[in-house]
Amino acid sequence: MDKLNSPYKFQLLFRGSRDGLSGEKFHEICDNQYRTVTVIKVKDGKEILRGYNPVECGPSFTMTLLYWGRVLILVVIVIVKKIFTKNRLEKPKVNLL
């Protein structure tokens, strides 16, 4: 097996087929972890979903299971404490119309 030539160390923290697909188990293993890479293989499909999270996982994260027909996808969703925030965009200095 070829090894990835990288200065980074990768460690498998959570695997649904090994650890179970429960939010409680996810938090037990993944809370207080940061700089995580998520890789998800879609059941009965060829798709691979992936993402990178530079911030620490904690109680503000939740795990949700979505069923699309026969497809089971594990989705990690960030629960945003403030849904509405003040718009900090400035008016354009040039008339765009």
Sequence ranges of the domains in the chain: 16-78
By the 8 A CB rule, do 28 and 58 touch?
no
Q: Round to whole Å and give the CA distance between 16 and 28.
A: 13
Residue of 77 and 42 predicted with greater confidence: 42
What percent of the chain stands above pLDDT 90? 0
When pLDDT is averaged across residues 43-61 and rounded to a whole number, the result is: 72
By the 8 A CB rule, do 45 and 71 touch?
yes
Q: Which of 34-38, 51-55, 88-92 has the lowest mean pLDDT?
A: 88-92
By the 8 A CB rule, do 31 and 23 touch?
no
